[in-house]
Structure 1
């Protein structure tokens, strides 16, 4: 079956619509960052940069760390952008752009997010580098995809749904990290459930001028327990990354640079230093 021109848009130069990349531009290991300016902060540690491309908020550098080919790509903010990035990354490696047919030999990418986040537990200090064991989505992205989850994921999701059930319209979705990546890139790092919110202010419990519909949201989050599991941090992409990676057959891990303590109402005075530590850790381990 051919994929239609309106379902998969290919630019006149043969690149994919939003990312502006050709199939040969993508390495098997992909690092995603939210901020376009952070792409260069990662690639400056590459031993060699083959090329740099960009369109809109999607900036891509591909090169080598030692003998390993690596792509670093900015996604922008939010799971709406993750929907674009992950579907287009998958198409670049698993769809023949000339025939518009799915390739017979499937390729699975290793995708590592390096992002910033706020801790919701008092024992997680600013400066922590944390690996997300699960991504818990409070957004609506996975209402539009069919997702199969494991028994462990279902059991934990049921406990989470019970905890947040009084919120009504919010229907959380849950996906675990890649076991292979969490055992390698995420080894010996603190771990926990990462909440992905559909916004930065009220959806993350922040109060500026507009009134919050969910009072004491941070207390609600950090009071959740299910056996050894607890919610550790809050951001805007991880759950979408984990869910779409699983749907599409890729391996994903989110590494979080903790810049804020939401329970202590503090923000780091050295955020760039913390992010740099996370970047160096990932590049050393890939």
Structure 2
């Protein structure tokens, strides 16, 4: 069935609408970052660059690192932008843009988020790395899709009960990373965690400037949540703003995804990294080298 022009929007040159990309512009391994400036922070390590474009907050560069072709794309902040990026990347590899029809053979992308985050557990210190084994979305993105089959309903129900979650807020959803892709980045210095993806930076993450939050004890309750998984308790480790959307849409679309976090802040101790740029650079170099092992 042909997809209507109002649903699959293309630019005059045939590129996908928001990202301004054509299928030949991207690799099958995609690194996502929030900040457009961080694209160059990664690609400065590349051996060569064959393509680059920048539209709005979406900057994309494709090149090779130690012989492996990679695409780095900035998403901006939040799962609303992730909705655009994941759907349009998928369209580039799984929809024939000329005929506007879904391809008979589907391509699976590897999607690696390299981002910053804040820990809410005292034993996950600043200047450390964390892989998000699970993400819990405190936004509503995945609920707009037919997605019940990828959600962990048991963890979700336990979380809602523990938090006394207000019914006027969107129902939290829990999605896992791709375990096989995550294993690529497993190392003794990397924590494995359960990431809460928030819909905002201030009140949704328990920060108060001039406005009161609706739940003053939210972060304490987040930190004290436990769910028994196998032989150990699963706990929420850190807060950020994209991972649940990436995990949810990647699973729905048949891609592999993992989120790597540089822990810049520890909310439990009130501390912040003295060298956030260096820490982020270290995570970038670690991730790139893991990808070419």
Normalising by structure 2, we get a TM-score of 0.95
Residue of structure 1 in register with 2:88 after alignment: 88
- For the residues of structure 1 that align with 2:290 and 2:165, how far apart are their CA atoms? 42
- For the residues of structure 1 that align with 2:13 and 2:145, how far apart are their CA atoms? 30
Residue of structure 2 in register with 1:14 after alignment: 14
Q: Secondary structure at the match of 1:142?
A: helix
Residue of structure 2 in register with 1:98 after alignment: 98
Residue of structure 1 in register with 2:107 after alignment: 107
Q: Secondary structure at the match of 1:7?
A: coil
1:235-250 counterparts in 2 under 5 A? 235-250=240-255
- For the residues of structure 2 that align with 1:207 and 1:150, how far apart are their CA atoms? 34
Q: Report the CA distance between 1:150 and its aligned residue.
A: 5.6
Q: Report the CA distance between 1:210 and its aligned residue.
A: 0.6
Residue of structure 1 in register with 2:222 after alignment: 221
Q: 1:161-184 CA distances to partner (integer Å, 9 max, x unpaired)?
A: 222243222310110000111111
1:26-45 counterparts in 2 under 5 A? 26-45=26-45
- For the residues of structure 2 that align with 1:2 and 1:80, how far apart are their CA atoms? 26
Alpha-carbon spacing, 1:148–1:185, altered in 2? closer, same or farther (3 Å): farther
Q: Report the CA distance between 1:201 and its aligned residue.
A: 0.2
Q: Report the CA distance between 1:106 and its aligned residue.
A: 0.3
Residue of structure 2 in register with 1:270 after alignment: 275
- For the residues of structure 2 that align with 1:256 and 1:22, how far apart are their CA atoms? 29
Q: Report the CA distance between 1:156 and its aligned residue.
A: 2.1
- For the residues of structure 2 that align with 1:73 and 1:198, how far apart are their CA atoms? 21
Retained in 1: the 8 A contact 2:163–2:218? no
Q: Secondary structure at the match of 2:30?
A: strand
How many aligned positions are there? Answer: 285
Normalising by structure 1, we get a TM-score of 0.97
- For the residues of structure 2 that align with 1:111 and 1:61, how far apart are their CA atoms? 14
Retained in 2: the 8 A contact 1:15–1:21? yes
1:167-178 counterparts in 2 under 5 A? 167-170=166-169, 171-178=171-178
Q: Secondary structure at the match of 1:166?
A: coil
- For the residues of structure 2 that align with 1:163 and 1:121, how far apart are their CA atoms? 17
Retained in 2: the 8 A contact 1:149–1:175? no
Residue of structure 2 in register with 1:121 after alignment: 121
1:246-265 counterparts in 2 under 5 A? 246-265=251-270
Residue of structure 2 in register with 1:48 after alignment: 48
Q: Report the CA distance between 1:4 and its aligned residue.
A: 0.5
- For the residues of structure 1 that align with 2:242 and 2:251, how far apart are their CA atoms? 15
Q: 1:117-138 CA distances to partner (integer Å, 9 max, x unpaired)?
A: 0000011110011000011000
- For the residues of structure 2 that align with 1:74 and 1:138, how far apart are their CA atoms? 22
- For the residues of structure 2 that align with 1:249 and 1:25, how far apart are their CA atoms? 20
Q: Secondary structure at the match of 2:69?
A: strand
1:52-201 counterparts in 2 under 5 A? 52-149=52-149, 153-170=152-169, 171-188=171-188, 189-201=190-202
